Amino acid sequence: MSGFNKVINSYEEAMNGLVDGMTIISGGFGLCGIPEHLIKEIKRKGTKELTIASNNCGTDEHGLGLLLSDHQIKKVIASYVGENALFETQMMNGEIEVDLTPQGTLAEKMRAGGAGIPAFYTPTGYGTPVGEGKEVREFNGRKYILEEALQGDFSIAKAWKGDRHGNLIFRRTARNFNPMAITAGKISVVEVEEIVEVGDLDPDQIHLPGIYVDRLIKGTFEKNIEQRTIRSS
């Protein structure tokens, strides 16, 4: 790498430095906007004892679900973990620890982690199992719980277009958790559909500036659909 050029050419290099026991923050919602090949590279490397923060944990065949068969995941921080039989089995057997976190709280934990905010008060989860053991404080007659920020050793994410400096544009709902996930990792790795030259992206249209991006790689994407629903006319 040289100067601000974030582009790398191999997946091995993309995940270089990832070792057992690390925490990874991942973008994606279901199978939408997931860094498909970065996940496959983690599977190939066989890194174990991982803590993964991601809204979901993939399906049996796709996404983060791929890391289950070789027991690479120790703990998952997610809002919804359905649609994955292997995950259910490992959860029921106590092989995998699950910290269920409300979706908005998870997004804000990642945002705070990247923004230098160690914790924040939110009304979400007060008076529910999520609030148990957490500090409660009242503001203007309403009760809030204290939630701590999330940071990762790595973050992995997917964007649509990136320039060589790592300035990013996301596409449609594949944006989801990706921008915040990228900011919350000590080393952030982003897989994009297209890499363009510096200056090709309009500065006003950039969704996430390259300052947050450490490694950029061009991928090819299967873009699997979980619930293909259509209307007839």
Partner 1 sequence: MALTREQLAQRVSKEFKDGYYINLGIGIPTLAANYVPEDMQVVLQSENGILGMGPFPLDEEVDADIINAGKQTVTLIKGASIFSSSDSFAMIRGGHVDLTILGAFEVDCQGNIASYMIPGKLIKGMGGAMDLVSGADNIIVTMTHASKDGVSKLLKECTLPLTGKGCIKRVLTDLALLDIEDGRFVLRERAPGVSVDEIVKLTAGDLEVPKEVPEMIFET
Give me the residues that bind partner 1 (CB under 8 A), please. Answer: 29-33, 55, 78-82, 88, 91-92, 98, 100, 102-108, 110-111, 122-130, 170-180, 223-233
| Shortest distance in whole angstroms from residue 72 CB to partner 1 | 21
The pair of three-digit structure tokens given for residue 78, joined into one six-digit string: 């997610």
- The minimum distance between CB 98 and partner 1, in angstroms, equals 8
CB of 106 to partner 1, least distance (A): 8
Structure tokens at 218: 């061009």
From 25, 36, 32, select the one nearest 174 (Cα to Cα).
32
Closest approach, Cβ 50 to partner 1, in A, equals 19
Residue with tokens 């974030």: 6
Tell me which residue has tokens 């939630």.
Answer: 147
Nearer to partner 1 by C-beta: 24 or 112? 112
Nearer to partner 1, 52 or 78 (CB): 78
> Judged by CB, which is closer to partner 1: 3, or 116?
116
Cβ proximity to partner 1, 93 vs 229, nearer residue? 229
As a whole number of Å, the end-to-end CA separation of the chain is: 51
**Residues 6 or more apart in contact with residue 84 via CB below 8 angstroms:** 57, 58, 59, 60, 65, 68
